[in-house]
Amino acid sequence: MLLVMLLPVNTFGVEFDPGRMELEVEALKGQNFSASEFTAEVDDINAEQSESLKISYPGKKSPFLAFALSAVIPGAGQLYNGSNIFKTIGFLAFDGALWGGHVMWHQDGMDLTREFEAYANEHWTEGDTTNNNADLDPQTYRGYLLAEYGDVNDTTVGEFTHSLPSTRTQQYYEMIGKYDQFAGGWDDYWLPPDSGNVLTSNRLHYEDMRKNANDKLTQADRMIYISIINHLISAVDAALSANRHNKKYGGIESDWSIKTEMHYYSATEQIPIVRFTRKF
């Protein structure tokens, strides 16, 4: 019995010519070939046809390269894979919008920071720190310490947990509004109607200004975090798309593969993980 391997017609855009196979087989029948020689000749024909099919396969994609490209520039891995152009542009445009938002909110936050620092410089006064108590303005922070605790150094006052920095750093501007021990430095602490009140109008207004500035800067930072997530989503999508591409076109094998799965990090809770594997 003569067995001939059948191949589908129009596989991946290359038309297999059954007529050629039939002619080749008939030619072989007319020759005095042994069974092994006949099988070898048919195998050669099949190999030639298979090679012609491979020519039409789009090149295999590297899931690792696709992942790396999109990890750096969202959408780049999708472009490498030949994915839908809207997906490619979507990842890139979204990331651009996030960075645009970061720049905008960061600039707003810095502008507001300069405003609340200028307000503090105008309405909060530390006073002389040279221990020359005779020249110390009593309506200042150090004057307040001297009047209330008999010393101008907050480091020697036992009930204080904070000491004012020697330079006007971020911590300096945070502490003068946050803690009651610095209330005496606000100019309206000494004036009615807020005299003696640790929560003076100027201090409360200052804290509102500082909160608004910090909110803007926090929003700017949030844009970076979302951008990082966008990079990762784009990268994972690109790697999975590369895998699908290779499987679609004839099961082309890649040295790299990627899959997502759930991983237990406690007895009852799971987290999604991305697993890369490479064949050697």
Higher confidence at residue 260 or residue 145? Answer: 145
Among 64-78, 231-245, 265-279, the range scoring the smallest mean pLDDT is 265-279
Q: How far apart are CA 71 and CA 229, in angstroms?
A: 10
Q: How far apart are CA 142 and CA 133, in angstroms?
A: 9
Task: Provide φ and ψ at 242, rounded to 5°.
Answer: -65, -40
Tokens of 22: 């039939």
Provide the pLDDT for residue 16.
45
Name the E strands within the chain.
Answer: 256-264, 270-278
Rounded average pLDDT over 3-23: 45
Provide the pLDDT for residue 160.
83
**For all residues of the chain together, what is the average pLDDT?**
79
Tell me which residue of 182, 204, 175, 180 sits closest to 126, measured CA to CA: 182
Rounded average pLDDT over 89-96: 96
Provide the pLDDT for residue 8.
39
Q: Above 80 in pLDDT, residue 2?
A: no
Provide the pLDDT for residue 149.
84
Region for residue 75 given its phi and psi (left: phi exceeds 0; alpha: psi -120 to 50; beta: otherwise): left
In this prediction the pTM is 0.66
Higher confidence at residue 48 or residue 53? Answer: 48
Q: Above 90 in pLDDT, residue 261?
A: no
Rounded average pLDDT over 208-234: 97
Provide the pLDDT for residue 146.
85
pLDDT digits (tens, 9 = 90+) for 123-132: 999 987 666 6
Residue 81: its H or E element: helix 76-81
- Give ∠ CA 59-43-39 in degrees, rounded to 5: 170
pLDDT digits (tens, 9 = 90+) for 141-198: 988 888 888 888 888 777 788 888 888 999 999 999 999 999 999 999 999 998 889 9
Q: Above 70 in pLDDT, residue 50?
A: no
Burial 134-151 (b: 16+ CB within 10 A, else e): eebeebbbbbbbbeebee
Which residue reads 């406690």 in tokens? 266
pLDDT band of residue 240 (cuts 50, 70, 90) is: very high
Rounded average pLDDT over 91-104: 97
pLDDT band of residue 250 (cuts 50, 70, 90) is: low
**Cβ atoms 261, 99 nearer than 8 A:** no
Q: How far apart are CA 100 and CA 276, in angstroms?
A: 33
Residue 125: its H or E element: none
